[in-house]
């Protein structure tokens, strides 16, 4: 009977190791993502958070040496219950602190991840000591514990990446992990209750903690929204967390809409037309043809709104990584009003290419209704919506044909992962996609606040065999903002491109900001305003644009 009981206890202990290993790595991921969402610079935040947690895991492993054997189950129950509550409610606590007590955020942030790291560090040594009862040989004992812990970490990482984050908010994800931790702990304490001094108290405590986690899960959305509202001056009308970013829409008392991504302003209804008209109309005016247009980024549909004004356009391919953004642009009434329904207009035959890369095109709106609007002789444009990383799309688009206009509407290069979209190899691939007489334009951050980053973009495009010309304009929400226009060097020099811009006689579509005067003004830079101290370019091995951008915005007033 005793042997059967021992086998059962050993089996449950293996499950506990597996669960704790999976939840431990998932807590690290969760706290890292919260840090990157709140503070930006995701690579730095992930690296620092995980490094600090690993250090304190070592501290926890050192502390356990001083803990007596007779208290192992009780210490395990207490430490894991505390970890479940801190890890589960940690994201909400960090969001609240960042919103209401920003001056204390650093202390709370690193205090929380340090304590969580310490508690995770207690797990393996405590369980190894418990497992000595069933497997006294050190070699086999350590092998089993580490094997189960690493297997749990693998499953936990995959579960967090492919199941939790795509389906739940970060605060809900943390509370689900809390419930899993507590459920595994409850089973463990129950099985080893005879070895615990306060088994009944611990089981009651764990059940109460599970109730708190369930309550927190049900209320987390409201709590997070209340905290998030304090970060914005205007009323939050929509918020969503995708696997890639946090999207928030606010609306002022006057009805003006603003969109934020990871806390940074993406566009403001009050002046977005300045940005999007300069992004789209100059290249459309210069291209010898404008039948096929490629928009990389621009999931809000605002650049597409401007492109669809041209009757010559026959096909637009819009590539945006995040389906949450394009869904918002299509389904949120406030955004659909702003982009004139460019992603949901029944005059447009809207199709999507799944991210799996199958190439299958699935209609997601009503069929083409050209006849209803313009008669049978007029073919309206087809919009292809591709949810894929832009660099992957461009690399695989060799058989897709060539584009008359390419518009790059990417986020600023605020992370190393975005630097590749401003790099030499990427521009080289785009070069091959331009049709004869084609024109490309890249949004290029601020030439005033980030001069080195702005000029680095131009140098990199030139190194990819483009002739380039800079443009800029004052967008009140952002300040002085810039773009680089480009044509292949084989089609003309930079001087010829600038001369062509000056020779534009007008725009064929209605605009609010851009005209001949504002276009020519955008080509004028103050003497010396583009002088730089660097001559580097961005490559996959050397993401210079990220370093320049980071230095600029960290030191800007």
d(CA 93, CA 227): 10
Query: Residue 333: is it exposed, middle or buried by C-beta count within 10 angstroms (0-12/13-18/19+)?
Result: exposed
| Annotation marks residue 536 as catalytic | no
d(CA 179, CA 216): 11
Q: What is the pairing mode between strands 292-297 and 315-319?
A: parallel
- Which of 409, 412, 465, 536 is flagged as catalytic? 409
Q: What is the pairing mode between strands 466-475 and 382-386?
A: unpaired
Evaluate whether 556 touches 550 at the Cβ level (below 8 Å). Answer: no
d(CA 419, CA 424): 10
Output the CA–CA distances (angstroms, integers) from residue 269 to 106, 272, 481, 493, in the order listed: 33, 5, 16, 36
Q: State the residue for tokens 């927190």.
A: 216
Output the CA–CA distances (angstroms, integers) from residue 28 to 22, 83, 90, 149, 322, in the order listed: 10, 12, 11, 15, 24
Complete DSSP assignment for 349-364:
EEEEE-TT-----EE-
d(CA 109, CA 447): 34
Cα Dmax for the chain: 95
d(CA 397, CA 302): 24
d(CA 403, CA 349): 19
Evaluate whether 240 touches 331 at the Cβ level (below 8 Å). Answer: no
d(CA 371, CA 197): 80
d(CA 266, CA 158): 31
d(CA 29, CA 170): 10
Q: State the residue for tokens 């749990």.
A: 152
Query: Residue 12: is it exposed, middle or buried by C-beta count within 10 angstroms (0-12/13-18/19+)?
Result: middle
d(CA 316, CA 247): 25
Q: State the residue for tokens 């292809």.
A: 384
Evaluate whether 225 touches 96 at the Cβ level (below 8 Å). Answer: no
Query: Residue 94: is it exposed, middle or buried by C-beta count within 10 angstroms (0-12/13-18/19+)?
Result: buried
* Bridge partner list, 267: 259
Output the CA–CA distances (angstroms, integers) from residue 303 to 96, 321, 342, in the order listed: 35, 16, 9
Evaluate whether 105 touches 131 at the Cβ level (below 8 Å). Answer: no
Evaluate whether 446 touches 452 at the Cβ level (below 8 Å). Answer: no
Q: Provide the annotated active-site residues.
A: 409
């Amino acid at each position: 009977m005793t042997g059967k009981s021992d086998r059962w206890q050993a089996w449950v202990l293996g499950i506990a190791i597996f669960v704790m290993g999976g939840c431990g790595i998932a807590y690290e991921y969760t706290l890292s993502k919260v840090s990157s969402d709140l503070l930006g610079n995701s690579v730095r935040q992930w690296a620092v958070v995980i490094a600090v947690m690993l250090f304190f895991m070592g501290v926890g492993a050192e502390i356990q040496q001083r803990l007596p054997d007779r208290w192992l189950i009780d210490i395990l129950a207490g430490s894991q219950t505390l970890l479940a509550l801190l890890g589960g409610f940690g994201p909400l606590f960090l969001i609240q602190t960042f919103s209401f007590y920003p001056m204390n955020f650093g202390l709370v942030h690193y205090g929380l991840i340090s304590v969580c790291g310490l508690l995770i560090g207690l797990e393996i040594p405590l369980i190894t000591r418990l497992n000595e009862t069933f497997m006294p040989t050190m070699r086999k004992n350590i092998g089993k514990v580490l094997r189960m812990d690493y297997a749990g970490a693998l499953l936990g990482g995959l579960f967090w990446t492919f199941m939790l984050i795509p389906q739940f908010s970060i605060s809900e994800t943390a509370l689900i992990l809390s419930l899993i931790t507590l459920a595994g702990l409850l089973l463990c304490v129950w099985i080893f209750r005879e070895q615990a001094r306060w088994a009944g108290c611990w089981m009651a405590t764990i059940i109460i903690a599970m109730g708190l986690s369930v309550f927190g899960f049900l209320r987390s959305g409201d709590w997070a929204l209340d905290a998030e509202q304090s970060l914005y001056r205007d009323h939050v009308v929509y918020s969503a967390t995708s696997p890639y970013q946090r999207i928030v829409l606010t609306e002022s008392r006057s009805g003006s809409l603003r969109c934020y991504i990871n806390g940074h302003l993406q566009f403001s209804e009050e002046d977005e037309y300045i940005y999007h008209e300069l992004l789209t109309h100059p290249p459309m005016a210069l291209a010898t043809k404008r039948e096929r247009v490629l928009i990389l980024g621009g999931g809000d549909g605002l650049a597409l709104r401007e492109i669809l004004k041209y009757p010559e356009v026959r096909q637009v391919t819009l590539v945006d990584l995040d389906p949450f953004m394009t869904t918002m642009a299509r389904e949120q009434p406030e955004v659909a009003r702003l982009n004139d329904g460019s992603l949901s207009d029944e005059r447009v035959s809207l199709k999507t290419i799944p991210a799996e890369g199958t190439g299958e095109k699935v209609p997601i709106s009503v069929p083409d209704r050209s006849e209803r609007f313009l008669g049978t002789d007029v073919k309206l444009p087809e919009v292809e919506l591709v949810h894929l990383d832009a660099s992957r799309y461009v690399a695989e688009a060799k058989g897709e044909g060539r584009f008359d206009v390419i518009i790059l509407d990417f986020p600023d290069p605020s992370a190393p992962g975005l630097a590749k979209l401003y790099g030499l190899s990427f521009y080289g691939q785009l070069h091959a996609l331009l049709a004869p007489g084609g024109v490309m334009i890249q949004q290029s951050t601020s030439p005033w606040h980030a001069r080195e980053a702005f000029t680095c973009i131009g140098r990199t495009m030139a190194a990819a065999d483009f002739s380039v010309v800079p443009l800029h304009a004052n967008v009140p929400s952002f300040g002085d903002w810039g773009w680089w226009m480009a044509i292949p060097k084989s089609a003309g020099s930079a001087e010829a491109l600038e001369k062509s811009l000056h020779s534009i006689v007008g725009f064929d579509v209605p605009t609010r900001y851009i005209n001949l005067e504002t276009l020519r003004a955008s080509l004028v830079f103050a003497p010396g305003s583009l002088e730089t101290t660097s001559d580097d370019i961005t490559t996959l091995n050397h993401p210079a644009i990220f370093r320049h951008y980071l230095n600029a915005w960290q030191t800007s007033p």
